């Protein structure tokens, strides 16, 4: 499949990795929108949250625990934000499930 994040997961396109295990990869966003901007992806391809089902959805719990660990490692003790965009109106540009970790600054209170 011609998917940017599948290629990053496979090591075919370089990334600045901050975490990796057998199921997940986290790397720095190429166009950071906060002092800390990291993406967490499952290595398995899912288009978005919309593609999850009862069998695959537990991966989101795994991602949350890794997000928490990364946030601690990055020193985000005063808080941070986790975002996942879904589809056209959600602003999703890469169609491989990913969660943004944003922090290192007081983030806007606006959600959209
Ligand atoms: P979204 O708009 O939620 O689909 O987010 C996609 C994110 O992927 C954006 O924040 C991009 O800056 C980021 N991105 C795109 N290409 C790369 C890349 N090669 N390495 C790291 N991040 C990327
Ligand atoms: Zn993919």
Give Cα separations from 57 to 54, 60, 64 (angstroms).
6, 6, 12
* Position 15 pLDDT exceeds 90: yes
Ligand 1: atom nearest CA of 90 is 3
Separation of alpha carbons 53 and 70, rounded Å: 26
Q: Which has the higher per-residue pLDDT, 80 or 1? A: 80
Separation of alpha carbons 37 and 67, rounded Å: 11
98 counts as catalytic: yes
Ligand 1: atom nearest CA of 33 is 10
Domains of the chain plus CATH, in order, are 4-103 (3.30.428.10)
Tokens of 112: 């959209």
Separation of alpha carbons 82 and 66, rounded Å: 12
Using pLDDT thresholds of 50, 70 and 90, give the confidence band for residue 1: confident
Q: What is the pLDDT of residues 51-104, one digit of tens each?
A: 999 999 999 999 999 999 999 999 999 999 999 999 999 999 999 999 999 999
List all residues whose CB is within 6 A of at least one atom of ligand 1.
4, 13, 15, 27, 29-31, 39, 85, 91-94
pLDDT value, residue 48? 98
* Position 27 pLDDT exceeds 80: yes
Catalytic position from the list 37, 96, 98, 100: 98
Q: What is the pLDDT of residues 92-112, one digit of tens each?
A: 999 999 999 999 999 999 999
């Amino acid at each position: 499949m011609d998917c940017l994040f599948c290629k990053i997961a496979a090591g075919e396109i370089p990334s600045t990795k901050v975490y990796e295990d057998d199921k997940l990869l986290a790397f720095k966003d190429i166009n950071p929108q906060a002092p800390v901007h990291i993406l967490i992806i499952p290595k398995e391809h899912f288009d978005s949250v919309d593609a999850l089902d009862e069998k695959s959805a537990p991966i989101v719990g795994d991602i949350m625990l890794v997000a928490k660990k990364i946030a601690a490692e990055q020193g985000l003790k005063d808080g941070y934000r986790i975002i996942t965009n879904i589809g056209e109106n959600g602003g999703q540009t890469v169609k491989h499930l990913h969660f943004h970790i944003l922090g290192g600054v007081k983030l806007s209170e606006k959600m959209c």
